[in-house]
Amino acid sequence: MDRSSALKVFESLGSSLRLDLFCLLVQAGDEGCVAGEIADALEIPATNLSFHLKGMLGANLVTVRQEGRFLRYRANVPHMLRVLAFVMENCARAEAGEGACGRLRGHAPGASKAPVATNPPVATNPAV
């Protein structure tokens, strides 16, 4: 898995419709769904569905197979698992202080940081 492939997946799933579509195909399992079933289930026009499926095919999130006059789509679960493994591996490297995430560690909101040196407060009414 490379960073570019992972980015394509996350960019593709950035659309709520595509996320719903992917979830629908995951739920359909190995049987998958033909385009008409997907369009009916998501209540979208076939042309809109075709646009989104093309993007998901480009990200390797779905597979397609011709069955007579129909195209059957399935979620590419093995690819999604590889993407998740890639992300988790990079998170593990960050824990070890390696890679871009490791360099950012400590700069994220809520991360512990070294205390900032401050000057002691100046007395406004010094005792004489």
Paired tokens of 18: 């595509």
Higher per-residue pLDDT: 90 or 71:
71
Helices (H), the chain: 3-12, 16-28, 35-42, 46-58, 77-95, 99-104
- Domain presence at residue 127: no
Domain at 61, CATH number:
1.10.10.10
In total, how many domains does the chain have? 1
107 in any annotated domain: no
Measured in whole angstroms, the distance separating CA 25 from the mean position of its chain's CA atoms is: 17
Look at residue 108 and tell me whether its pLDDT is greater than 60. no
Please provide the size of the chain in residues. Answer: 128
Q: pLDDT per residue over 39-89, tens digit each?
A: 999 999 999 999 999 999 999 999 999 999 999 999 999 999 999 999 988
- Examine residue 101 and state whether it is found in any structural domain, yes or no: no
Q: 45 in a domain, yes or no? A: yes
Query: Which tokens go with 2?
Result: 């490379």
| 92 band by pLDDT with thresholds 50, 70 and 90 | confident
- Which contiguous run of DSSP H or E holds residue 57? helix 46-58
The domain in which residue 36 lies consists of 3-78
Query: How much is the pLDDT for 117?
Result: 45
